[in-house]
A = this chain, B = another copy of it.
Amino acid sequence: MEPRISLVTLGVRDVALSRRFYETLGWHASPASNADVVFFQLGGMALALFGRRALAADAHVDEGAGFGGVALAQNQPSRDAVDRVMGEAEAAGARILKPARDVFWGGYSGYFADPDGHAWEIAWNPFFTLEADGRLTLP
């Protein structure tokens, strides 16, 4: 199996509400989107928003509750850029889980939650290469 993710699907309570949140961040939904599912192009992959109950049913899993043990991260080239994006997220209605700060591993990061509590980390990591086009390269 190739090391590759094509889509990350977030199960949401209200597809229209979550769509508005990500659009308020400045993202543009693909024309492939409809009332039940919304797609955003993210570089060479996509983020999908889909009803949480429908996603659980599609995957043949019980619906679960609370934090599911998954965090999405977006790296930034500097501490200032982290602060700026955290501010943009808060202005779009995100709940700040953890204000950005210097962290033990030598970087700077904060977390926000989207309308369904999905956790996004915004981080500056001086050990990983971040290209101008947003591609991340590990050591």
CB of A130, distance to nearest CB on chain B (Å): 7
Chain B residues contacting A88 (CB-CB under 8 Å) are 1
A12-24 vs B, CB cutoff 8 Å, 1 = contact: the mask equals 1000000000000
A51-82 vs B, CB cutoff 8 Å, 1 = contact: the mask equals 01001101111111111111111110000000
* Residue A108 at the chain B interface, CB threshold 8 Å: no
Do A134 and B73 have beta carbons less than 8 Å apart?
no
Do A136 and B68 have beta carbons less than 8 Å apart?
no
A125-136 vs B, CB cutoff 8 Å, 1 = contact: the mask equals 001101101111
The CA of A130 and the CA of B60, in the complex, are separated in Å by 26
Residue from the list B61, B85, B127 in contact with A117, Cβ < 8 A: B61
Q: How many residues of A contact B (CB 8 A)?
A: 75
The CA of A75 and the CA of B26, in the complex, are separated in Å by 26
Residue from the list B40, B59, B66, B131 in contact with A121, Cβ < 8 A: B59
Do B67 and A66 have beta carbons less than 8 Å apart?
no
The CA of A25 and the CA of B11, in the complex, are separated in Å by 26
CB of A110, distance to nearest CB on chain B (Å): 10
Whether A3 touches B27, Cβ cut-off 8 Å, given contacts A66-B62, A66-B65, is yes
Do B6 and A8 have beta carbons less than 8 Å apart?
no
Q: Which residue of B lies closest to A40 (CB)?
A: B3
Do A42 and B4 have beta carbons less than 8 Å apart?
yes
